[in-house]
Structure 1
Amino acid sequence: MADPFIPVFRIGPLDCVTLGGVRYRRHEQNLVGGYILARVDDPKVTAPFSHARIHQLSEQPGYAFEKGAFDPGVIKARHEGGLDRLGDLPKKEVDELLWRYRLCHGFLRMERKKRATRSDRSIKAVLPLIQAEMAVEEEKKAARLNANGDLLQPRAGEPIPPARRSPSPRTLRTWLRRLEAGQWKAIALRKRLRLCGDRITQRFTHEERTLLAEYALKYASETRPTIQDIYRLFAAEVERRNGERKPMGLPLLRLPSYHRMCQEIRALPAFDVYAGRHGLPAAMAKFAMVANGADVERPLQRVEIDEWRVELFALCRDAGILERLSDDLKTQIAAVRLWVCAAIDARTRVILGMKMGPSPDASLALEVLEMVVSSKKPYADAAGARSPWDQCGSPETVVHDQARSFLSVVFRRAVIDLEAEADAPPAGLANMRGRVERLFKTVGMQALSPFTGRTFGSINEKGDYDPEKRVSLELPELCRVLVRWSVDVYHNTPHAGLGGETPANAWKRLVAAYGVIPPPDRHVKRAIFGTEIDRVVSAKGVRVLGLYYNCHELQAYRRQHGDVAVEVKVDSMDLGHVSVRVGDAGWLAVPCLRPLFDDVSVETWRIASAQLRRSFAAEARLNDEIVAAAIRDAWEVAAQAQARAGILTTRPTREELDRDEEKLGFGFPSPERLPEGPSQLGSDLTAAAIPTAGGLTPVPSTTAPTRRRGRAVKFED
């Protein structure tokens, strides 16, 4: 039996990874088959971690990955934006910030194509063109869909989405500078009205500025010094010169801050810096313009996502055969009209996610994006696949067409919160995302061809074939077929686009060579992908599906604001925590006050609750052991239900969770007091939020309640 494949997580020198609850950063020394990691709280303490050990710890609680946590540009963006992700912003700010972000990226695309410069004249000329493209996207987002999921063209006189006023050239240049200085984090474009107040600008002398610029240039050296090294040399030189100036009675030189040195280095031309540190040939290769197609060399560098309407049982109306079908078959056809949304890695051609749903909406696209950053082992096991489906990681760029689901605020916000870039080629440029387009054609030709119920794209392809008499594939079987074909057949078949290599082998080879950006931890994924509901915070915390969630940080927020309604995000596959928005501080991970709910799904809790209701209807109180036994018994039933669903969309909506809240009659009263021990909050509410405002430790709250044997549960009808 072959050894299991171990993915290589690409951890940069400015990234932070939390393993077993301890924060580490990459040490400058290398380790064959892994990394040497240094503790953040004590950099002198280092430890070797193999890739296998890192992957094992990434699947356990106490894992987190913060891309660019020690990058001065990222720190600047977090500090000036006050938060880290768009999902942490109040809803009223998200639309405008996304508009600014898209406008800037539209201009940058035209600048790269040499169609625009940053002069006033050029910006005034291209802004109307960029906004016209954005207006088309807004119309598509607001458009209605017909029964087939196709966009309905707006009629004359119908209202169109309101347009926003164009920025002045000076304002646009300011936005672009803030994006560049903030390492392209969208949060850098957040309005700064909240920062209004008196500011004192310190002006340096000519000698101070000259010395600062001289040492900033030393960063572009083939020895590749760090910014900290440059700043230490700079401080030593300032101290030496002051030692000479003091006896002569000259004014002493002021030492600019480390942050000011970072700004000076970031202002250097990127090409010049890279050429100085890595050589001119490497810089020319890195910054070369690619004229034909996308230049992709790493796994997850470019992930393409698209939608496809399944042709199973569906008779094309244009073929002229719809009228010849019986009423029963027409009813069956209408019942199984489904859409498939899939994501594929452009470099290795590996399928990273696939979901089926009744319509191509934002929720379906969001589920597929979540699969990209998650292991797909449960889906492969449910389909009986023999090969693993564990390819995952954080994407660098997500490419999609201009479908309404991909242009939605929730999808684009999720892409940006994953530290990825969203790229939507203009309509008519399907070749830019040709890999996923070809994948859908391959699915139709290969995966479904063995089944006699498949229809064809045209009446000529159909020939004398009569689908009405030969329907044999049902919906659950279709899900298993698609998964098994993807994992066992497609991933292990030589691919012409890979020079005869299989996608599975290409993934293993290139991940070993380049690594992948680690996926986000469970708390961050919940904050990005969780189902959002509204609840009222009380002394017991917040109640979700009959369970209470509480912690010191949440009660500190309640003491400031009272019993107010809060936004809560729920992971349908893990009821151990929920995420609660604590004002502008972002999302706070709040633990369940009852034990044993980690990795318990909503479906499992539904089944367990129904069993408890049937078995203990006459009881007033239940202890932990009875509840735990009911959950264990429900695991198998829930697993069978999830296996039957397969890749069908099963994410509960806000309305479904609210209905479940009314049905579940078990209330879990909070303890008399909150869990003992020091709170991670301290005096700063944002200390435990995800993420912190401008800090380097966006650690979710993991305050666990003290477990007491036999704590009772009572019915609350």
Structure 2
Amino acid sequence: MMDFEDEFTESTSVKKPASPAQYVKLVDSELVKRDLDTFPDFLKEKALDKYKLISVIELENSGGWTQKKLDPILDKLFEGNTEKRPNWRTVVRWRKSYIESNGDLASLVDKSHKKGNRSKRTEGEEVFFERALLRFLDAKRPKVTTAYQYYKDAITIENENIVDGQIPIISYKSFNQRIKSLPPYPIAVARHGKFKADQWFAYCSSHIPPTRILERVEIDHTPLDLILLDDELLLPLGRPYLTLIVDVFSNCVLGFHLSYKAPSYVSAAKAIVHAIKPKTLNDVGIELQNDWPCYGKFETLVVDNGAEFWSKSLDHACKEAGINIQYNPVRKPWLKPFVERFFGMINQYFLTEIPGKTFSNILEKEDYKPEKDAIMRFSVFVEEFHRWVVDIYHQDSDSRDTRIPIKQWQHGFDIYPPLQMTVEEEKRFNVLMGITDERTLTRNGFKFEELMYDSTALADYRKHYPQTKDTIKKLIKIDPDDLSSIHVYLEELGGYLKVPCTDTTGYVSGLSLHEHKVIKKINRETIRESKDNLGLAKARMAIHARVQQEQELFNKSKTKAKLPELKKKAQLADISNTGQGTIRLEKSDTLSAIPNKPEPNISDILDNWDDDIEGFE
């Protein structure tokens, strides 16, 4: 029978392309044979002396390499120095090795470096060494001396019951040398964990350098090692968080955001907007010597795995702007080295001389108390940070004098200028970078964080476009620094409508989302503290007791009337808070004053109630 062949047969027989050298395992690697330079100097000199001797004999020898031919030549060459004269057989062996190695000088190196005892001198103690090794390979990371002590104690106890042929104990030096000769990676895994072991021993690939500005941009957060003061109260506020964006090609700073709020989508969005828009330094507050021309739409934004970078708002906004987001693997900050290195430069070159500097390492702090020595106000720091970035860092060369950041930016800008946003695109991008949320459209507009948003334009929209259960939920964008208005996406109109807050007291003017939440929290706490909890509890218990009394009274009653009938009686008796509270009718003075009038019959009145009401209407 012929073998079945189809279009897949050929593809399975094709060999896979060879992997790049950096991904080949050691066992599969092709090693180049060692050369003479890999040996110690004294062995290299001896090998070269052998080569020179063979070369001289080769020139003077006219026949074969025999004792008759070689002895006269050796006697002549080593006349007066017979101690160093080699035997003719030794010279023949050297020449043979040299020829068989195709002229490799390493073949003339003495093999003395391979001499030595390569077998264990002691036997029977391997089991105890393995036990001690298990104690050494522990996450608590005991010392070698501790493992060796256990090794000695275990053998000593075992030898107590042995008369002849006791188990020998190797020295600490031999024990330590045996530990050091073990493969380092499994030891690191057992003592420090796989993550640390991979950090120490894994292959570290180099970054593919970008070829133009804004091709690759890195962003990250860090708490600054500096305590700042409140602008007016001059009280220490603690360490602020810095969100920074750096261009990899030029190493220029594109934008930043400084805040005391923990890193979040808001801080990332503010820094991105600052990086993309042109920088106006007129409102910085101080006069700078240079401009800050670094801005534009970047191609790839490299982020880590922080929750703020996995935000849907950030993903949607960057996609709309044509920005690709690249996520670094978890706990691998070295794959984002440029912004990490810049944080170190800030601490080393900018914060060092400012009083109030803290230390990342508690051991470096000693007796220094930064909160007592802090002197710089927050706004002053922002001004001086602008000066350091624009007039110092951008204008100075790096530590190796290979580039000046601003010159590298200008060079890249002249060759391949980046894309820039129009005024309309910037306005749209500012809206897109807001916090995304979903709210229900009601007759009163939208409600967000206890604030109402409505406008005549939104009212006109409700009049013209009917809403269903699904479409009544709208996507809104909130600027966390300004709650005076929101932007609502209206699908029928194909865009975002700006809707102001209906507050007329001026409360939302310049109000941020964080401030609003703090105010609400304080207000709730104030209301809770002002309540008379004891009086409320007594009143609720009194109501509960009264209800129980009414229940008991009802259970004792023998009246079994239907609810509609009782309701009619209540209407007839005019039960209200200004009238009486029972349907039982008393003989009134009015009724007794009417002569020859029989006492009203409640059943007859109820039967004719509906007819009387209809006739009255």
**What interval of TM-score do these two structures reach, taking the shorter chain for normalisation?**
0.3 to 0.5
Name which structure has the greater RCO, CA cutoff 8 Å, separation 6+: 1
With the length of structure 1 as denominator, give the TM-score of the two structures. Answer: 0.37
